[in-house]
Amino acid sequence: MTASAYDTASKAYRPSKRARLVTWNVNSVRARIDLVDRFISLQDPDILCLQEIKVQTDQFPRSWFEERGYVHQAIAGQRNHHGVATLSRLPLEEIESADWCQKGDARHIAARLPGGVKLHNFYVPAGGDEPDREVNPRFAHKLDFLDEMIGWSKTLDEPSIMVGDLNVAPLESDVWSHRQLLKVVSHTPPETERMHALQKAHDWVDAMRHFVADDEPLFSWWSYRARDWRASNRGRRLDHIWVSPCLKDGLRGMSVFDDARSWDRPSDHAPVIVDIDLPLS
DNA sequence: ATGGTTGGGGGCCAA
């Protein structure tokens, strides 16, 4: 499907392609394959960025996705934990996976889309429980990872999209209670300050907040531990889609598909959907 | 203040 997007800089209509882009921490792609199937049927994404696939690269269900039209695949998996995968109907080129913090973790996969936009899919470390880098190496790793992302963002010189489970809820309205979560990993000042610095490092546009005001609660994750996640609604916005400033005018819509959180044996994360007109030239 | 749930993998850990 092609569309036209008005480019405010050049005052011209430029050819573009409308794409539905999704980021979803599935918490094991094999355990959740029926939910992925249902989600694909209902929402028809063009590009599906998964995190926590929890499978080695060579055991990823490639043919399952190929049968559903996602013939272009960029996968970085590892045994047990982590792992990211980008499944696409659009061609993926220049696939690369960087080794962040030299840990050898599968937490990043990048690919170039038609038209030249680079798509980065991240799974940022969760950071453990104790928000003190001196006593908790997991938290130190998370802060170091975010610092590395800030430095990397400053060097970006191409139209880019960054999606994934960033494991930080940056704004007060990204958590159910700002006051009660200030000392809870995912919303502590060292994390939210880094998210702000990360945003500034490339002038990233938060595609979710482009459609929802900053003071309006917006969540993508609800703990498994709540008796009734929807009734208590103690959510956090840990999943994000950020785009380069030059792509901002292409943003067409956004939703958090929280229906999937209430399905049988769900992930604790809901898919985040963004519709965007990608430049074709 | 505490505990609540889940998946992977192989006997608890990370989330």
Q: Is the CB of A225 under 7 A from strand B?
A: yes
CB atoms under 10 Å from CB of A168, counted, come to: 25
pLDDT band at residue A194 under the 50/70/90 scheme: very high
Q: Is the CB of A101 under 7 A from strand B?
A: no
Q: Is the CB of A264 under 7 A from strand B?
A: no
Q: Is the CB of A128 under 7 A from strand B?
A: yes
pLDDT band at residue A6 under the 50/70/90 scheme: low
Residue A29, CA: closest nucleotide via C1'?
B7
Determine the pLDDT at residue A195. Answer: 98
Domains of chain A: 18-279 (3.60.10.10)
- Cut 0.85: pTM above it: yes
Question: Stated in angstroms, how far is A30 CA from B10 C1'?
Answer: 18
Closest residue (CA to C1') to nucleotide B9 in the complex: A80
- The model's pLDDT over A121-170, given as tens digits with 9 standing for 90+, comes to 999 999 999 999 999 999 999 999 999 999 999 999 999 999 999 999 99
